[in-house]
């Protein structure tokens, strides 16, 4: 019986100590890309059909970083995310471009 009491007190003590310790928090700094950073980041030198990214509207001449070929034409995008969104429903975006 004493062994169970000692074990119980030990476990409760360990739990109390661990609960009172502060967790180490790390701060994350988020930097938003400015116009110059966007221009320098992975800009492709490819001729595309569109002047604006059909998903977000950015100028492809300044921010072209990904392309997709659809129905024999090459379309440009500012990012892989916009390209993936376009690929899910290309006709929806192409209808808005015209």
User: Hey, is 5 helix, strand or coil?
Assistant: helix
Report pLDDT for 44.
76
- Residue 21: band (very low, low, confident or very high) from pLDDT cuts 50, 70, 90: low
pLDDT tens digits, one per residue of 38-79: 544 556 778 999 999 999 999 988 888 899 999 999 999 999
Q: How far is CA 63 from CA 19, 27, 30, in A?
A: 49, 30, 21
**Which of the pair, 40 or 93, is modelled with greater confidence?**
93
- Cα 32 off chain centre by: 12
Share of the chain above pLDDT 90, in %: 36
Q: How far is CA 9 from CA 12, 16, 17, 48, 73, in A?
A: 5, 10, 12, 72, 73
What's this model's pTM, rounded to 2 decimal places?
0.56
Determine the Cα angle at 46 with ends 43 and 49, to 5°.
115
User: Hey, is 62 helix, strand or coil?
Assistant: helix
């Amino acid at each position: 019986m004493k062994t169970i009491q000692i074990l119980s007190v030990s476990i409760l003590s360990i739990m109390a100590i661990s609960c009172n310790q502060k967790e180490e928090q790390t701060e994350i700094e988020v930097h938003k890309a400015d116009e110059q950073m966007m221009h320098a980041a992975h800009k492709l030198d490819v001729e595309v059909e569109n002047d604006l990214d059909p998903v977000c509207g950015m100028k492809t001449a300044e921010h072209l970083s990904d392309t997709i070929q659809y129905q024999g034409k090459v379309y440009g995008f500012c990012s892989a995310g916009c390209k993936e969104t376009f690929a899910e429903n290309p006709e929806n975006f192409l209808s808005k471009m015209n």
